Chain A
Amino acid sequence: MRRFSLALTFCIFLVIAGVLIGLVLYPPLPALAASLASPEIRFAIGLSLLTSTISTAICVALAIPAAYALARYEFPGKKVVSLVLTIPLALPPLVAGIALLLFFGTTTWGKLLESMGFEVIFTPLGIIVAEVFVNLPYMIRILKSAFTAVNPRYENVAKTLGCTDTGAFLQVTLPLARPGLVAGTTITWAKSMGEFGAVLMLAGATMMRTETLPMALYLNISAGDLDMAVAASVILILISLFALFVVEHFSDEAHVF
């Protein structure tokens, strides 16, 4: 059993590592460097970084109070709210994207927002909206378990020592939930960098306009430019490795999944 399971583990390791390394090594190095330096890839990197960072910041800002409420308070309909907040977790991003497209494209609310200048269909703003919609449930879920793990008596003591509710949260609970916050933020950011389905549906894949890294990969592979597609992939692999590293580093303390 031991020998078999170890051998199997090693085989799986070889396949995964081999496939990824094969991808990175496919184009000759100078060609990879040239692709990475091309205006299109540089634009894609910039747009991906910008939209992911903004959407992650929005996710954090929304998830902290929402996760805290779910962790600490009892309110009518809590179960239903929890469930609905979790739906996008299990939903294919393509479906989330088409739902967003229909909401913003066909409903009165969507049109009202558009008339107020909030244009999301086939625009860079749409990328951010799609990323927030898909990733917010992850963030809430991770933070909720991080807050639940902090004994509420810490807050009680802080309040008897002169803190307001908010003060107790900011000075005690939030610092104690830091590992979960760091892990959640990193995962959200990395998932935003790689988000494809929802972004494709809502923001489209317009070259040099809504062309994030996954879009660059998709557009170039469609056009048969393999070197460019690999360049986009290499960046995405690096981002995954970075996210894994951060999450592993904090995962002892954070209750991520």
Chain B
Amino acid sequence: MALHVESVSKTLGAFSLNNISFDVKEGEYFVILGPTGAGKTIVLETIAGIHTPDTGRICWDGGDITHAEPRARNIGVVYQDYMLFPHLTVEENIGFGLRQKKIARERIREAVEKAADLLGIPHLLSRYPGTLSGGEQQRVALARALILQPRVLLLDEPMNALDSAMRERMRKELARIHRLTGTTVIQITHHFEDVFALADRVAIMNNGTIVQVGEPAEVFWHPKDTFVAEFLGIGNLIKGVAHRAGSLAEIVAEGGVTIVAASAAQGEVVATLHAEDVIVSKAPFASSARNCLPGTVTDLLPSGSTIKIVIDAGFPLVALLTRESCRELEIAPDSRVYATFKASAVHVIPVNGEEG
């Protein structure tokens, strides 16, 4: 185990961490997923040494670093608002860490250029952070942390300030950097897409505690309690292999059933589908929707004014119906039904950042 966090508690104003424990393996991409206000940033700052835990300990390769100063830990941090030093140029920002080590000017320059190349920003070196776009600032912040070859890189909601197209690109970028540098990465996020695109393992956090840790599949398909299930409450997660079919993607789900999605993704994917986007009917439903799967109702789960219906369509498919529709369609366990949904309702997440 590279990083070992053991029973860490910390109270900081209105926020608190409560008996947090987890391990991160060397070279692993570890994602901490949780809603805003769960205390995720404090976890990162405590690992980085900004806060000293009230109780508990943090170890690296068996050595206790609970009370080590941040600068002695060699742990890099990239905050969601990047925190580039506004009074320094991009070059000075990236070289900041090496300058603290009193390394010769030319050596710093070489290293800065190498780091800038890795992130595709050599043309920005003489600029000031205030003149950069969000994506550019993020690359500079990554370069500034990576230049010290940290044993752990901590990323605080790195995709949060970016629009969705940039997010997708940044995910691929992070996957590439992780592959190239082999650095252990701990990223916090509240986007579950990040988990499938990047994570080797994921921890779910709520209210200052870690609720569940495991591989993404394990956590998503076997949520430990109702918080995890509801927080991840996307309805349907369909694992499969995608290939191109005209302008759409055909995904062969794990059970062998094929669904159609509006996506250009290929290879291993996870597709998500909101339960409310699934139309249930007794007879095949003629419409413009590309997907109409026959199945058998296995479960009816009432929740408020609606009922969740689990349909075995080769894989478990969840649909959300009102109680009235349920009654009118006479849906009961073992009813034969058809589940219809549009290709555009299926959201495809490429696994491990690889795409088309």
Residues of A within 8 A of B (CB): 151, 153-154, 156-164, 167, 171-172, 175-176, 178
Closest B residue to A151 using CB positions: B83
Question: Would you give the shortest CB distance from A152 to chain B, in whole angstroms?
Answer: 9
Q: Give the size category of B's interface with A.
A: 20 to 34
CA–CA, A162 to B75, complex, Å? 10
Q: Would A162 and B97 be within 8 Å (CB), given that A154-B85, A156-B70 are in contact?
A: yes
Q: Is B333 positioned at the interface, with any CB of A under 8 Å from its CB?
A: no
CA–CA, A151 to B86, complex, Å? 12
Closest A residue to B41 using CB positions: A153
A-B contact pairs, 13 of them (CB 8 A): A153-B79, A153-B83, A156-B45, A156-B77, A158-B85, A158-B96, A159-B69, A159-B70, A161-B96, A162-B100, A162-B148, A163-B71, A164-B71
CB neighbours (8 Å) of B350 from chain A are none
CA–CA, A164 to B50, complex, Å? 12
Contact string against A for B residues 66-92, beta-carbon threshold 8 Å, 1 for contact and 0 otherwise: 000111010111010101011100000
CA–CA, A110 to B96, complex, Å? 49
Query: Do residues A160 and B77 form an inter-chain contact, with CB atoms below 8 A?
Result: yes
Q: Would A157 and B148 be within 8 Å (CB), given that A162-B100, A163-B71 are in contact?
A: no
Q: Is B101 positioned at the interface, with any CB of A under 8 Å from its CB?
A: yes
CA–CA, A153 to B101, complex, Å? 21
Q: Which of B45, B49, B79, B97 contacts A161 (CB 8 A)?
A: B97
| Extra inter-chain contacts (15) besides given A153-B83, A163-B71, CB under 8 Å | A156-B45, A156-B77, A156-B83, A157-B79, A159-B71, A160-B50, A160-B73, A160-B76, A161-B76, A161-B100, A161-B148, A162-B71, A162-B100, A175-B87, A178-B87
Q: Is B195 positioned at the interface, with any CB of A under 8 Å from its CB?
A: no
Q: Is B144 positioned at the interface, with any CB of A under 8 Å from its CB?
A: yes
CA–CA, A164 to B85, complex, Å? 16
CB neighbours (8 Å) of B83 from chain A are 151, 153-154, 156-157
Query: Do residues B50 and A156 form an inter-chain contact, with CB atoms below 8 A?
Result: yes
CA–CA, A153 to B81, complex, Å? 10
Question: Would you give the shortest CB distance from B137 to chain A, in whole angstroms?
Answer: 13
Question: Would you give the shortest CB distance from A31 to chain B, in whole angstroms?
Answer: 50
CB neighbours (8 Å) of A157 from chain B are 77, 79, 83, 144
